[in-house]
Amino acid sequence: MNLRLPLPGTIHLLGSHHQRSEMQVVVTGAAGFIGSHLAERLARDGHHVVGIDNFAPFYDRSQKRRNAERLANLGITIHAADLVTDPLAPILSDVDALFHLAAQPGLSPSTTPEAFTRNNVRATERVVAHLDDHPTLRAFVYASSSSVYGADATVAEDGPLAPTSIYGETKLEGERIIDAASDHASWDACTLRLFSVYGPRERPDKLIPKAARCAIKCEPFPLFRGSEHHRRSFTYVGDAVDGLVAALDRFDQCAGETINVGTPRSVSTMEVLRCITDVVGRRLCIDRLPPREGDQQRTEARIDRARRLLDFEPRTSLLEGIRAEVDWILQVLDPRTVTPCGLS
């Protein structure tokens, strides 16, 4: 007989009471930015966490290795495995809940369309193929993106979907794969569309860490022409993780749902850059580049559903979040790369 563990979390929900119990939780992309924060939080909440990461060289692998070491110190096992080619059955054999965060990110021209399809579509297909009629899996939580909405991501979850980048297209395809699989599987799924997550351990090619490093090192910051007017719902990673964990703790309400998770306020790129210069204490020299295709013009998270189902409310201000990220960058930055003018 296969016994299902009760849903986690000690919460009062619709008059019912759910008792937290330890679960076997798998996190894909666990050595990455959001994945490492999520795995760490789940372990601290008392769950047995297992991570999967292929340590792809999209950016310096040393950052992921540091994340993996941090997780190992918490007793989390990280499997260096490729979701497309490596054996997954032994890792997924006893899983009770799975968070699928592994993905090919970004808009870099050096990333081929084939890489997005392989790592966002084929990998997702292979994960769900290993979960068909799974004896213990109860909850599948998929980390999707506001990019599925397209250039103007300011609508609720049932709004039009018109991605403008292959990243957005493949994340949307991932949603459809999981929805179709869960329709006839023994487990349920929930999709969270995350909005512009930032914070410590963020990928170095993203706006905030790149601009912060340029300010610290007195280097020009490359800014795509027109992007200074783009507006985003910048969401601190701790708040995003709160939403992800709440989806597991309240999975009886979230099963089958698609939920926006982000800050319900958008700010311009220029406002972000001003915050960075305030925190670093240095002016930022801008190197303007030609416009980049595929960029979103505006995102503003509509989170009524997240408030209702997840009791979600972001708590970290942009300035607080940037200060935390800059502090982290200063801790990991090689001091030999900082010029004498780097900090005032």
Task: Give one DSSP letter per residue of 180-196, joined into a string.
Answer: HHHHHSSSEEEEEEE--
- DSSP element (H, E) containing 202: none
pLDDT of res. 95: 97
198 labelled catalytic: no
* Among 186, 27, 157, 34, residue whose Cα is nearest residue 105: 34
pLDDT of res. 10: 28
Q: How confident is the model at residue 13 (pLDDT cuts 50, 70, 90)?
A: very low
43-47, 95-99, 289-293: the lowest-pLDDT one: 289-293
Token digits of residue 15: 């008059």
Asked if the model's pLDDT at residue 8 lies above 50, the reply is no
Domain range summary for the chain, segments of one domain joined by +? 20-198+236-261, 207-229+265-301+316-335
273-277 long-range Cβ contacts below 8 angstroms, 24+ apart: 273/211, 273/221, 273/228, 275/318, 275/319, 275/322, 276/208, 276/211, 276/212, 276/215, 276/322, 276/326, 277/215
pLDDT of res. 344: 44
Q: How confident is the model at residue 17 (pLDDT cuts 50, 70, 90)?
A: very low
Q: How confident is the model at residue 311 (pLDDT cuts 50, 70, 90)?
A: very high
Give the pLDDT confidence of 117-167 residue by residue, as tens digits. Answer: 999 999 999 999 999 889 999 999 999 999 999 999 999 999 999 999 999
Asked if the model's pLDDT at residue 191 lies above 50, the reply is yes
Beta bridge partners of 190: 141
Identity of residue 243: G
Asked if the model's pLDDT at residue 5 lies above 90, the reply is no
pLDDT of res. 226: 80
pLDDT of res. 2: 28
12-16, 64-68, 126-130, 257-261: the lowest-pLDDT one: 12-16
Residue, of 342 and 102, whose pLDDT is higher: 102
CA dihedral angle for residue 52, residue 140, residue 302, residue 169, rounded to 10 degrees: 60
CATH code reported for the domain at 20-198+236-261:
3.40.50.720
Asked if the model's pLDDT at residue 3 lies above 60, the reply is no
Give the pLDDT confidence of 325-335 residue by residue, as tens digits. Answer: 999 999 998 77
Q: How confident is the model at residue 291 (pLDDT cuts 50, 70, 90)?
A: confident
What is the CA angle 180-96-8, rounded to 5?
110
Percentage of residues of the chain with pLDDT beyond 90:
82
Percentage of residues of the chain with pLDDT beyond 70:
92
pLDDT of res. 4: 26
Specify which of 6-15, 167-176, 223-232 reaches the highest per-range mean pLDDT. Answer: 167-176
In 148-177, which positions are buried (b, 16+ CB within 10 angstroms) versus exposed (e)?
bbbbbbbeebeeebebbbbbbbbbbbbbeb
Asked if the model's pLDDT at residue 294 lies above 90, the reply is no
pLDDT of res. 1: 26
Asked if the model's pLDDT at residue 103 lies above 90, the reply is yes
pLDDT of res. 340: 58
pLDDT of res. 341: 58
- Of 59, 142, 149, 167, catalytic: 167
Asked if the model's pLDDT at residue 12 lies above 60, the reply is no
Regarding the domain delimited by 207-229+265-301+316-335, which CATH topology (the fold level of the hierarchy) does it fall under?
A: UDP-galactose 4-epimerase; domain 1 (3.90.25)
Asked if the model's pLDDT at residue 300 lies above 70, the reply is yes
Average pLDDT of the residues of the chain: 90
- DSSP element (H, E) containing 139: strand 139-145
